[in-house]
Amino acid sequence: MRLERWIYRESAERKMDEGKKKRSCAYGVGFLAIVVVNIFATQIFAAYSYTDVYSPPVGEATQAQILNQIYSGEYGGTFTKTGVNFYNTSAGINVLRVYDHDELDIRLNLLAGDIGDVDKVWTDGIATVTAKAKWAGDTQSFGWNTGGTGTGTYEELLTEDNLNGPGVTIDISGDFLWGYMPNGEEWWSLDSENYRQEDHIVTYKVEGLEGQGVTWLLFMEDRPFVLYDGCHWVTASDRDYNDFVVEINAVPEPATVCLLIAGTLLLRRRS
């Protein structure tokens, strides 16, 4: 009887040990899977991010209020903010935020670009571009670097005096940067060229407007984020990105339209 109890006890303890080992192995595999998934997810989502836009001081317009002034008078309705985007459901207009930062070398194409791209370096897609000043909070200038990714040349396109005017039309070929000059400062869409690599331009793609072309809205911040006063760093900017707003409309050049039509016809014939 004692022998049978001993054998039974040994068998039960052996099964318990095996069960613990299996559970331990399962926990280990599960933990490893979670770690791998987290690392993979981090590598994906850490590559893209938005610059924070703060609420403006009392008395200054929010981005939603600026959008209402730009578009609601013509199209009706009002804009509401959801996440980083703005929606005017009555007018069917969506103002969708473009990424500000990435770990890859991605250009924002004026014609074919989307909100999954990044607004640092722009490229034309062979387009005719019209820039219009839509909102201005102070004396300032908007322009571009005339091509490439360097910042040695600044060509002014608009100032606050051009507010709600017909705009300026330019022909662009290849990569380029947008530039912004408020208060004697010089900021670029490629933030690595800015003081402390700060981002002073946030971009939205506007969907639902009447007419041809692709429309972008650039909201700009005029002051550096912080300044050194000789002893320590102090806050210098409210970072509300409501100081200058420029609308960019890109229309394919006639040659590009012909190529697109020819390509479409060729594909249809092959199919």
The burial class, CB within 10 Å (0-12 / 13-18 / 19+), for 182 is buried
Asked if residue 221 belongs to a domain, the reply is yes
**Is 181 contained in some domain?**
yes
Does residue 4 belong to any structural domain of this protein?
no
Q: Is residue 15 assigned to a domain?
A: no
Domain contains 109: yes
Q: How many domains does the chain have?
A: 1
In a domain, 203, yes or no: yes
* 213 φ/ψ angles, rounded to the nearest 5 degrees: 95, 180
Per-residue pLDDT of the chain (271 residues; tens, 9 = 90+): 444 444 445 555 555 555 554 444 444 444 334 333 343 333 344 489 999 999 999 999 999 999 999 999 999 999 999 999 999 999 999 999 999 998 787 899 999 999 999 999 999 999 999 999 999 998 999 999 999 999 999 999 999 999 999 999 998 889 999 999 998 899 999 999 999 999 999 999 999 998 889 999 999 999 999 988 788 888 889 999 999 999 999 999 874 443 443 333 443 444 4
Which structural domain range is residue 220 located in?
A: 48-258
Strands 85-88, 93-97: pairing kind: antiparallel
Rg, C-alpha atoms of the chain: 27
Which CATH number goes with the domain that contains 177? 2.60.120.400
Phi and psi torsions of 77, nearest 5°: 70, 180
CA angle 123, 124, 125 (to 5 degrees): 110
Confirm whether 214 is domain-assigned. yes
Contact 153/121 with Cβ under 8 angstroms?
no
Q: Is the pTM of this model over 0.85?
A: no
